[in-house]
Amino acid sequence: MEVPNYGQPAPPFQPGYPMNPAMAPGPPYPPAMNPAVAPAYYPTVNTNALAPQVAPYPQFTGIPGYEGMAGNGDDSRFLPPPPAVGPGPDNIPAATNKDWLIPSINQEAAKQALLDYASGQCCYGSSPAEEMEIIQLRPHNTYRYRLETFTESRSCEWVTKPLTADTLDSPDKGPAPQPWEIQVTPPALFKDETKKMPVPHTTSKKSCQECNGKGKIICQKCNGNSQVKCENCNGSGKRSADECMDCHGTGFKGCTTCNQTNVQTCPGCAGKGQVMTFIELTITWKNNLHEYIPDHHSNFSTDLFKKVTGEKMYTDEQILVPPIMNFPEPSINQSSQTAVQQHYSQFISTCRILKQRQTIELLPLTKVEYNWKGKNCSYFVYGRENKVETKDYPSTCCCAIL
Ligand SMILES: [Zn+2]
Ligand SMILES: [Zn+2]
Ligand SMILES: [Zn+2]
């Protein structure tokens, strides 16, 4: 199928269309993140404005650009991205007007769709589908507009883990790169994904605070008493009138967690007595979807379109797509303009927009009215798959017509 274009050459920017700071003239990313030389719009990751948090190991928090950062499950630090490289306004593709071709299903295909449908239902007779007389095919074709905005966000927090290596990527190996300076390629476009990694040159070794470097802590089960309450008799030493066999009437049993040694392996350092602390970078890729289907003026349930595909009429994929202005169905233009603006204002300050994709599909929808044995019935054929939706198929139980 020929892909039609949809409108006049779009004006470079509509009033109110959000301008990506990335499109403004500025230094190419990534330059040195020096706030002193960066232009005013340049976000800096040095968010001293955030309330100061106490890091678990304060002596290791003096990493430039990461000061005052919380750790270990406290709210990790929000990191606004520096602007991404983007196409200038001149790069917005021009589009030209053409008539839309609206494909419609023919009688044969309509009949075949119903036959397939009936044979797929366990108890439906095929007679109506075979013998029916089609009265009318009514097109209710509609469109599906989608805007997908694929974003990347980054956050950092201090984490403490048991020591696993002898040689650590410590701060004396070099300056730690800023979160957005670390080059990471998304595994796939338009797919949700999360990746965690240590920020280079931020790892330090430290004596474990949970066990004071001993590698062992007092047994949490028996509190260092070697004995725990017998669960069988709930500590009474008795079951009914008899002595509890499990604890021989004492109400206590030897602790199996520590094997009566009163201590257990420290979970914080896995018994090593030493831990490593480092800044962990979490990268989150997310595909944010806006979907809109205009009214098709029929009692067909729009939700059913979720199960089928349509004919791709238009696809535009770039870092920031311009809103569609000249599609023949005005509500698509409206939806596009709203969605483009909404996604932009929603994501541009908190995420980096890596890619946007805007698509229009034609969703075939035909109402078939037919007569079978003097009875008037109807069904819908929808999607490229020619799926059938019917509420009044006249033979829903094969036994009834035999
Ligand atoms: Zn007992
Ligand atoms: Zn114990
Ligand atoms: Zn420990």
For the segment 207-223, what is each residue's pLDDT rounded down to a tens digit? 999 999 999 999 999 99
The pTM assigned to this predicted structure is 0.66
Q: Which ligand is nearest to the CA of 233?
A: 1
Cα 273 to averaged position of ligand 3 atoms, centre (Å): 5
Q: Which ligand is nearest to the CA of 217?
A: 3
DSSP string for 111-123: HHHHHHHHHHSTT
Residue 53 has pLDDT above 50, yes or no: no
123-139 average pLDDT score: 88
254-260 average pLDDT score: 93
Q: Which residues pair with 133 in a beta bridge?
A: 371
Q: Which ligand is nearest to the CA of 216?
A: 3
Cα 218 to averaged position of ligand 2 atoms, centre (Å): 8
User: Which protein residues have a CB closer than 5 Å to ligand 3 (ion)?
Assistant: 208, 210-211, 266, 268-269
Where would I find the H helices in 21-155?
107-120, 127-131
Cα 255 to averaged position of ligand 1 atoms, centre (Å): 13
pLDDT for the residue numbered 81: 65
Cα 266 to averaged position of ligand 1 atoms, centre (Å): 29
267-278 average pLDDT score: 94
Cα 251 to averaged position of ligand 1 atoms, centre (Å): 5
Cα 259 to averaged position of ligand 2 atoms, centre (Å): 6
- Give backbone dihedrals phi and psi of 311, rounded to 5 degrees, phi first: -80, 120
Confidence of residue 226 (pLDDT cuts 50, 70, 90): very high
Residue 395 has pLDDT above 90, yes or no: no
Confidence of residue 95 (pLDDT cuts 50, 70, 90): very low
pLDDT for the residue numbered 23: 35
Cα 257 to averaged position of ligand 1 atoms, centre (Å): 18
Confidence of residue 123 (pLDDT cuts 50, 70, 90): confident
Confidence of residue 392 (pLDDT cuts 50, 70, 90): confident
Q: Which ligand is nearest to the CA of 256?
A: 2
Residue 317 has pLDDT above 90, yes or no: yes
| Percent of the chain at pLDDT exceeding 90 | 56
Q: Which ligand is nearest to the CA of 227?
A: 2
Q: Taking a C-beta distance cutoff of 8 angstroms, is the pair 56, 279 a contact? A: no
Residue 63 has pLDDT above 80, yes or no: no
Cα 243 to averaged position of ligand 1 atoms, centre (Å): 8
Rounded-to-integer distance, Cα 119 and Cα 393, Å: 12
Q: Which ligand is nearest to the CA of 267?
A: 3
Cα 255 to averaged position of ligand 3 atoms, centre (Å): 21
Where would I find the H helices in 233-367?
330-347
359-371 average pLDDT score: 92
Confidence of residue 327 (pLDDT cuts 50, 70, 90): confident
Q: Which of 154-163, 238-247, 251-260 has the lowest mean pLDDT?
A: 238-247
pLDDT for the residue numbered 286: 97
Whether cis (ω within 30° of 0) applies to the bond prior to 30 is: yes
Cα 227 to averaged position of ligand 3 atoms, centre (Å): 23
SS3 242: strand
State the residue for tokens 């960066």: 38
Confidence of residue 12 (pLDDT cuts 50, 70, 90): very low
Residue 216 vs residue 313, higher pLDDT: 216
Cα 266 to averaged position of ligand 2 atoms, centre (Å): 13
pLDDT for the residue numbered 227: 93
Residue 351 has pLDDT above 70, yes or no: yes
Average pLDDT of the chain to the nearest whole number: 78
Cα 251 to averaged position of ligand 2 atoms, centre (Å): 16
Rounded-to-integer distance, Cα 234 and Cα 174, Å: 59
Residue 162 vs residue 59, higher pLDDT: 162
248-273 average pLDDT score: 93
Cα 261 to averaged position of ligand 1 atoms, centre (Å): 21
Cα 226 to averaged position of ligand 1 atoms, centre (Å): 16
Amino acid type, 316: D
Q: Which ligand is nearest to the CA of 160?
A: 3
Confidence of residue 381 (pLDDT cuts 50, 70, 90): very high
Residue 379 has pLDDT above 90, yes or no: yes
Cα 252 to averaged position of ligand 3 atoms, centre (Å): 29
Q: Taking a C-beta distance cutoff of 8 angstroms, is the pair 354, 186 a contact? A: yes
Cα 191 to averaged position of ligand 1 atoms, centre (Å): 56
Q: Which ligand is nearest to the CA of 225?
A: 2
Q: Which residues pair with 362 in a beta bridge?
A: 143, 311
Q: Which ligand is nearest to the CA of 247?
A: 1
SS3 131: helix
Cα 242 to averaged position of ligand 1 atoms, centre (Å): 11
